Amino acid sequence: MVDQLTRPEATEGPGIEPLIPIAPATFPYLWFSGRQVPWEQATVHVTLVGWPSIGAVFEGIRGYWNAEQAALYIFRLREHMARLEMSMKLQRMLPRFSAAELTAALLDLCRVNDAREDVYIQPLAFTLGSMWGSRAAMGQLPEVFITIRPIESDLLKERSLTAGVSSWTRIHDRALPPRIKAIPNYANSRLGSNEASRHGYDVPIFLNQEGTVAESSGSCIFIVRKGEVVTPPVTASILESITRDSVIELARTALSLPVHEREVDRTELYASDEIFLCGTSMEVTPVTEVDGYQIGAGRSGEITGRIERLFHDVARGIDSRYAHWRTRVE
Ligand code: PMP
């Protein structure tokens, strides 16, 4: 309970004006390597901007507020923490905090900030000092911080996106591992997103080194053809997406739809009856045009709509099934 927690006192700062104005706090506290810190006090020196991020890994997690139940449900918290552990392991970061400790810290942070709305929660781990993975840096403990901010869900809002196949190839496991959530991977996403905007599209769709469909800049992709749901496999240069996993499970078990994880050709995109993107930020969002080709009837398809509604109801705890995916902040 909020009242039983000791809130850290906001102490007076050193009286020095920050060189760059600090983004205003959306919630008063964040968590930094073991303690709750008032937002304004969580600053670092300007010389640390840049290099520590090349080894940084993070998670993006949503909390859905259910007003009727006065409950905040964190979606698939266990899986997000497991992926953070995997990302840190691949970056050879020392396990300074266990998944259980980070989970407790995250839930405490929701309580101390009295979060009673839809939220986006981001744990991020980075290592200071030697950036090149030298032996000396290997022994260094990572810093971890967790931030929380309000974010409105776009589910059931009947929005849709246009997409363009990118001229940039998705990063490959032989260079940067797309399966983990590492900051450097987003340099590739950024190139694709910039190109898509310049060409008038909302989002890019990347092909991988083999020339088949990979994913978008911050979300995974599903197509629907002849009643079958198809998505590229986790070996197609994609993030091991938790929303993708959830959609597969919901489509198969609750909607009894055939789902195939297999390579997807570029022209299959154009020939699809429906396409949607999915991810923690993206949730489930229809794509109605790719490279100027209209997809299906040019609006959200029937199967996409069913998946989106079910995803919404499950994530928000309106549908009581899949209870193991929801962590209620008590
Ligand atoms: N691919 C990329 C590149 C992403 O950044 C994201 C967002 N985390 C996703 C896919 C979707 O992953 P998740 O469902 O775990 O949020």
Q: Domain residue spans in the chain?
A: 9-150, 161-315
Tell me if 246 CB under 6 Å of ligand 1: no
Atom of ligand 1 nearest to the CA of 59: 8
Residue 170, pLDDT score: 98
**Residue in 97, 201, 94, 87 with CA at minimum distance from that of residue 138:** 94
With a 6 A CB cut-off, is 184 part of the ligand 1 pocket? no
pLDDT at 14 (0 to 100): 54
Contacts for 312 with CB less than 8 Å, ≥ 6 apart: 153, 155, 156, 283, 318
pLDDT per residue as tens, the chain (330 positions)? 444 556 666 555 556 677 888 877 889 999 999 999 999 999 888 888 888 888 899 999 999 999 999 999 999 999 999 999 999 999 989 889 999 999 999 999 999 999 999 999 999 999 886 555 555 556 678 999 999 999 999 999 999 999 999 999 999 999 999 999 999 999 999 999 999 999 999 999 999 999 999 999 999 999 999 999 999 999 999 999 999 999 999 999 999 999 999 999 999 999 999 999 999 999 999 999 999 999 999 999 999 999 999 999 999 999 999 999 999 999
Element at 267 (helix H, strand E): helix 266-271
Atom 2 (ligand 1): residue with closest C-alpha? 218
At residue 288, the 3 state secondary structure works out as strand
Q: Is 181 a catalytic residue?
A: yes
Q: Which CATH number fits domain 9-150: 3.30.470.10, 3.40.718.10, 2.40.50.140, 3.40.367.20?
A: 3.30.470.10
How many residues are given for the chain?
330
Cα–Cα dist 128/26, whole Å: 26
C-alpha to C-alpha distance for 200 and 122, rounded to whole angstroms: 30
With a 6 Å cutoff on the Cβ, whether 215 touches ligand 1 is yes
Closest-CA residue, ligand 1 atom 1, reads: 219
Tell me how crowded residue 308 is: count the other CB atoms within 10 A of its CB. Answer: 23
Residues forming a β-bridge with 125: 57, 144
Q: Where are the beta strands (DSSP E) in 132-191?
A: 143-150, 161-169
Ligand 1 atom closest to Cα of 246?
A: 14
Nearest protein Cα to ligand 1, atom 3: 218
Report how far Cα 183 is from the mean position of its chain's Cα atoms. Answer: 12
Judge if the beta carbon of residue 118 lies within 6 A of ligand 1.
Answer: no
Measured CA to CA, the distance from residue 137 to residue 129 in angstroms comes to 7
Q: For residues 330 and 117, what is the distance between their CA atoms, to the nearest angstrom?
A: 14
CA 219 / ligand 1 centre spacing (Å): 5
CA–centroid distance, residue 240 to ligand 1 (Å): 7
Question: Could you say which architecture CATH assigns to the domain 161-315?
Answer: Alpha-Beta Barrel (3.20)
pLDDT for 26 equals 85
Which is it for the CA torsion 223, 229, 234, 239, positive or negative? positive
